């Protein structure tokens, strides 16, 4: 009986000693995992979209190459006609269209290409009368009835884009080729007071090539959708047309050297917003 009691006491003592040793052992701290890093928005990829904004077009009209002689224009016509005809004609309207492009990204540097086409619907015209007999000018010449106009219905551009991204904001510059269909009309007519009534008339309608440059900011608003605001300036270059005086009644031309050179220079400024979807 004594042996049993002694054994039980020993077992209890060993258990108590083990518990005390376990209580004195250090506890390992739990390992806390870092949250996954937030990935910056990637601008790489191709996209399509639409644009809407305002456009202003401005074209200069300058008449030169006017000769004064017995087989051309009368004295002082080389001064009187340009004084009335030289002008700048402007028009402002709403523009809208579509665009497509691709971006590439290296770090925060984003670059790519973009092409667009948009309706502009610009046109402007004016009439004027040159000074001459009866209206304060040289009485040796008849006043000329001048009509001038230009029209451009659409603008297309093919541009490079490059800039820097701050996550979902992209600041960029852009530039490249601009194309537009441009029509010009110039006319000067001498009426019944002239010795031989007739007109100089010049028209042209063709696709002009020039350059375009600008910049903007684009914001990736949600998912693959982005909004942008952009300014572009397009220079469609210079167009030169030549007209020869033709008698209203027809027949032979008594003024075979009565030429006028009509010079034009068209520029367009565009401020627009765009909505793009990236694939």
Quick one: which of 220, 110, 215 has its CA closest to 165? 110
Q: Check if the beta carbon of residue 244 is closer than 8 Å to that of residue 275.
A: no
Calpha distance 229→217 (Å, rounded): 6
pLDDT in tens, 43-71: 999 999 999 999 999 999 999 999 999 99
pLDDT in tens, 156-201: 999 999 999 999 999 999 999 999 999 999 999 999 999 999 999 9
pTM of the predicted model over 0.95: no
For the chain, which residues score pLDDT lower than 50? 1-14, 16-23, 25
Domain count of the fold of the chain: 1
Is 243 inside a domain boundary? yes
Phi, psi of 250 (to 5 degrees): 80, -165
Q: What is the pLDDT of residue 38?
A: 55
Q: What is the pLDDT of residue 35?
A: 61
120 Cβ contact partners less than 8 Å away, ≥ 6 residues apart: 55, 57, 93, 95, 152, 153, 154, 155, 180, 268
DSSP single-letter state for residue 70: T
User: What is the β-pairing status of strands 259-278 and 225-244?
Assistant: antiparallel
Which alpha helices (DSSP H) does 129-238 contain, by range? none
Handedness of CA 68, 72, 76, 82 (dihedral sign): negative
For 157, half-sphere exposure in the C-beta direction (CA atoms, 13 angstrom radius) is 27
Is 273 inside a domain boundary? yes
Is 6 inside a domain boundary? no
Is 21 inside a domain boundary? no
Domain of residue 209: give its range.
44-278
Quickly count: other Cβ atoms within 10 Å of residue 102's Cβ: 15
Is 166 inside a domain boundary? yes
Q: Check if the beta carbon of residue 235 is closer than 8 Å to that of residue 210.
A: yes
Residues 178, 183, 188: CA angle, nearest 5 degrees: 140
Is 28 inside a domain boundary? no
Is 31 inside a domain boundary? no
Which alpha helices (DSSP H) does the chain contain, by range? 2-24, 77-85
Is 7 inside a domain boundary? no
Burial category of 6 from C-beta neighbours within 10 Å (exposed 0-12, middle 13-18, buried 19 and up) = exposed
């Amino acid at each position: 009986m004594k042996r049993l009691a002694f054994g039980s006491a020993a077992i209890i003592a060993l258990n108590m000693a083990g518990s005390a040793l376990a209580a004195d052992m250090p506890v390992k701290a739990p390992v806390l995992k870092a949250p996954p890093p937030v990935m910056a928005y990637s601008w790489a990829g191709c996209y399509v979209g639409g644009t809407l904004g305002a456009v202003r077009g401005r074209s200069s009209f300058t008449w030169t190459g006017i000769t004064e002689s017995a087989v051309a224009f009368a004295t002082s016509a080389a001064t009187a006609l340009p004084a009335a005809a030289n002008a700048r004609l402007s028009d402002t309207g709403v523009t809208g269209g579509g665009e497509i492009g691709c971006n590439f990204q290296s770090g925060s540097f984003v670059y790519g290409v973009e092409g667009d086409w948009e309706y502009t619907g610009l046109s402007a015209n004016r009439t004027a009368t040159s000074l001459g007999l009866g209206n304060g000018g040289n009485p040796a010449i008849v006043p000329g009835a001048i009509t001038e106009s230009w029209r451009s219905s659409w603008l297309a551009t093919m541009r490079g884009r490059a800039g820097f991204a701050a996550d979902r904001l992209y600041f960029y510059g852009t530039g490249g080729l601009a194309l537009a269909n441009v029509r010009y009309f110039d006319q000067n007519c001498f009426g019944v007071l002239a010795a031989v009534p007739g007109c100089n008339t010049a028209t042209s309608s063709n696709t002009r090539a020039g350059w375009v440059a600008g910049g903007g900011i684009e914001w990736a608003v949600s998912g693959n959708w982005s909004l942008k605001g952009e300014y572009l300036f397009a220079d469609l270059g210079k167009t030169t047309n030549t007209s020869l005086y033709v008698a209203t009644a027809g027949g032979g031309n008594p003024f075979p050297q009565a030429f006028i050179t009509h010079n034009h220079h068209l520029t367009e400024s565009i401020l627009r917003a765009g909505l793009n979807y990236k694939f």
